[in-house]
A and B are shown apart, each in its own frame.
Chain A
Amino acid sequence: MNSACIDIRNLNVFYDGHTALKNISLSIPHRQITAIIGPSGCGKTTLLRSINRLIDFSDGVKVSGEILVDGQNILGPKADVTSLRKKIGLISQKPSPLPMSVYDNVAYGPRIHGMRDKKELDKTVRNCLETAGLWEELKDRLRTSATKLSVGQQQRLCLARSLAVKPEILLCDEPTSALDPVSSQNIENKLAELKKYYTIVIVTHNIHQAMRLADYVVHLYLGELVEYGPANEVFQKPKEDRTRAYINGTAFKELEIDSQINLKGKVCPLNFVFAKEALETRCREEWKPTARR
C-alpha cells in the first residue's frame, strides 16, 4: 500500500544562481503524512512550491531534475500545470485570503472547476469549513469579507479553500504557525483524519508536531537532503549526526546556525536555542565566543 505517490529525482533549484535545493531525491508515500523539517531558509518552502509548480512564479528561478506524480514528470514541458495544481493543493506559509467574501473564497475553486449548482456549492462550502474547524465560528458571517478575519482564521480558511477543489495531495507550509495551541491541536487532529483520503506533506518547525503527526520525515539542511525515512526510525535512531543534533538540540560542530537562522529575521525555533547553547559550551575553548557572561 505504500506505493510512492510523489517521486522526486535529482531535483535542483537555483535562485539567481544561488542554490536553494541540491540534488534532492526522495519519494513521498501515498496517503501518509510526510513532515519536512529543517532550519529556516533550508529550502522547505522551495521544495513544496516545486511540487505544485508555484515555483514558476518566483523571479530568476531555475529548476532541474524530475518530479514524478503518478508516474508523470510534472517538470516536463508537457505537464498540464493547471490540472496539476488542482490535484496538488498548497496552503502557503502566509495566509492569503482572496479579496471576496468567506463563502466566495471557499466556492472560488469549485466554481472555476465547473460546479454551478447552488445547493451543491453550499454543501461543499459547509463541509470544507467544518473540516477546517471554521463553520461554528463563521456560519453567520459567510458574506463578510475574508480579509477581515483574524490571521488564524485566514489560515484555516485557506485550508478549507484548498480542500474545496478536492485535491489528492495537500502541501501544508507551516499550517499552524499562526495558531494558538488549541487551534493547532484541532488542525493536527484534522490532518490526522484527512490522511485517510489525502497524501499530506507538511512543513513544520515544531519537532513535537512532527513526532505526533508524521509517518515519514524529511530533514533538509542548507538545501541538502540530510535524512529521510519512516518517522519512528528517524526520530528514534537517526543515522545522521546532523539530524540528531536537530532533533535533540545537541551541538553539532558544523552548524553555522547564527548566520543561517537569522537569514530571514525570523524567530528561531526552540531547539535551535538549545543547539546554540550546546555549541557554545562545547566549543568555548576553541572559539572564545563573545557570548553572555
Chain B
Amino acid sequence: MHRRRVEEAIFKGLMIASITIVAGSLLSIVAILAWKGLPALNIAMVTQTPKGGYYLGKEGGILNAIVGSLYLATGATVLAFIISLMVALFLQREYIGKTRFAGLVRLSLDILWGIPSIVYGAFGFAIMLYMGIRASLLGGIIVLTLLEIPILTRALDEVVRMIPKDLKEASYALGTTRLETSFKVVARQALPGIITAVLLAFGRGIGDAASILFTAGYTDRIPTSLFDPVASLPLAIFFQLGTPFPEVQARAYASAVILLVIILSISIVSRLLTKRLARNTVK
C-alpha cells in the first residue's frame, strides 16, 4: 500500500512538473522577447520601409516585411482554402466516401503534411528556375499554398466528418443536391471549425521562413505586382539577426515581438469568432 502511494505521488509530481515546463517555456519566450525586443520597438519600425543603411543601424523600419508577409500569407491562405475546401467536401461519404481513391488521397495528405517546408521551398525554387520565374510574390504565394494545403485540408476534413449524419439527411430529404447540402448545411454547421482551420493555416503561412527563403526573394520595397520580389517578417528577423551590429540585432528582436503580436491576435480572433459562430450550430 505504501509503495503504491509513493508511486502515485512521484508520477503526480512529474505530471505537474511537465505542465510547469510547458507553461514556463511559454512565459519565458514572451518574457525574453519583451525584455530584448520592446526597447528597440518604435513607431518607425511599423510605419517605414528600410532607408539606406538600415542594416548598418540607420533609420527605417520593417513595414516592407510586415506588408509582404500579410500579402504572402493572405494570398496563400485564400488559394489553399479554395482547394482544401473542395477536397475536404469531396472526401465526404456522398462523393467518394470510403473508396480506395479516398484512402490514397488521405495518405497523400498525410505525407504532404509531413514534408518539411524547406523541401517545399527547394522544390518550388527548382520548378521556378525551370520555368524561368524569378523569386517573387507569386512564387512565394504558390509555395506557401502548397505548404498550407495539407494543413488546411486535414483540418477541414476532420471538421466536415464531425457533422451529424442526420443533419445532412434532413437536407437531402428536401431534394437538395450534394453541392447545395455541402454549402448550405455542412459548411454552415462546420463554420466555427472552418474559421479555426483557416486561421491556423494563416498563422503557419505568416510564420514560415524556410519555404519562402528562395522563392519570394527579399526587397526593401513594398511589392506593387505579383512578379516583384517581396520581403517577409520571418526573413527580416533572420537577416537582421545575421548582421554584426547590436542595434540591428535588437531590431530583429523587436520584429519578433511584432510577429508574436500578430500570431497572438490571430489566436484571440479565432477564439472569439468560434465562440460567436458556435451559437447557431447543432450540438
Across the interface, do B164 and A165 meet the contact criterion of CB distance under 8 Å?
A: no
B175 touches A57 (CB 8 A): no
Q: Which residues of B contact A54 (CB under 8 A)?
A: 169, 172-173
Pick from B165, B170, B177: contact of A82, CB below 8 A: B177
Indicate if B271 sits at the interface (CB-CB under 8 A): no
Nearest B residue to A53 via CB reads B172
Taking a contact as CB atoms closer than 8 A, the residue among B94, B184, B279 that contacts A112 in the complex is: B184
**Option from B172, B185, B279 in Cβ contact (under 8 Å) with A57:** B172
- Report the number of A-B residue pairs with Cβ-Cβ less than 8 Å: 82
Quick check: is B281 within 8 A (CB to CB) of the other chain?
yes
> Across the interface, do A98 and B173 meet the contact criterion of CB distance under 8 Å?
no
Are B174 and A112 in contact, with the CB atoms below 8 A? yes
Type the 1/0 row for A102-113, where 1 means its CB is closer than 8 Å to any CB of B.
000000110011
Q: Which of B173, B180, B184, B279 contacts A92 (CB 8 A)?
A: B173
Whether A90 and B184, one on each chain, are in contact in the complex, defined by CB atoms closer than 8 angstroms, is: no
A29 within 8 Å of B by Cβ? no
B225 neighbours in A (Cβ, 8 Å): none
Q: Interface code B166-206, partner A: CB below 8 Å = 1, 0 otherwise?
A: 11111111111100100011001100000000000000000
Given contacts A99-B281, A147-B280, contact A92 B174 (CB under 8 A): no
Task: Indicate if the CB atoms of B174 and A108 lie closer than 8 Å.
Answer: yes
Contact A99 B175 (CB under 8 A): no
B174 and A99 contacting across the interface, CB-CB below 8 Å? no
Cα distance, A91 to B175, chains bound together (Å): 13
Residues of chain A lying within 8 A (CB to CB) of residue B281 = 99, 147
Q: B278 — nearest CB in chain A belongs to which residue?
A: A99
Q: Do A98 and B172 touch (CB < 8 A)?
A: no
> Chain B's interface: helix, strand, loop or mixed, by majority?
helix
Q: B94 to chain A: which residues have CB within 8 Å? A: 56-57
Q: Nearest Cβ distance between residue A13 and chain B, in whole angstroms?
A: 16
**Considering only CB atoms, which chain B residue lies closest to A80 in the complex?**
B175
Contacts of A99 in B (CB 8 A): 167, 185, 188-189, 280-282
> How many chain-B residues does the 8 Å CB contact rule pick out?
26
Residue contact A96 to B170, C-beta cutoff 8 Å: yes
- Residues in chain A near residue B58, CB distance under 8 A: none
B167 adjacent to A86 (CB under 8 Å): no
Chain B, Cβ-Cβ closest to A60: B98
Residues of A within 8 A of B189 (CB): 99
Closest-CB distance, B183 to chain A (whole angstroms): 11
B168, A57: Cβ atoms closer than 8 Å:
yes
**Within the complex, what minimum Cβ distance (angstroms) separates B273 from chain A?**
16
Let me know if B3 is at the binding interface, CB within 8 A: no
Please, which residues of chain A bring their CB within 8 A of the CB of B166? 92, 94, 96
Q: Which residue of B lies closest to A145 (CB)?
A: B280
Residue of A nearest to B164 (CB): A96
Contact, CB under 8 Å: A89 / B169: no
| Most B C-beta atoms less than 10 A away, residue of A57, A91, A97, A162 | A57
Mark A residues whose CB is within 8 Å of B: 52, 54, 56-57, 82-87, 89-92, 94, 96-101, 108-109, 112-113, 145, 147, 158, 161-162, 165
Between-chain CB contacts (< 8 Å), 21 pairs: A54-B172, A54-B173, A56-B94, A85-B172, A85-B176, A86-B174, A86-B175, A87-B175, A92-B169, A92-B170, A94-B166, A96-B169, A97-B170, A98-B167, A99-B189, A99-B281, A101-B280, A147-B280, A147-B283, A158-B170, A162-B174
- B interface with A by C-beta (< 8 Å): 93-94, 164-177, 180, 184-185, 188-189, 279-283
8 further interface pairs, Cβ-Cβ under 8 Å (given A108-B174, A112-B174): A54-B173, A57-B168, A84-B175, A92-B173, A99-B167, A99-B281, A108-B184, A112-B180
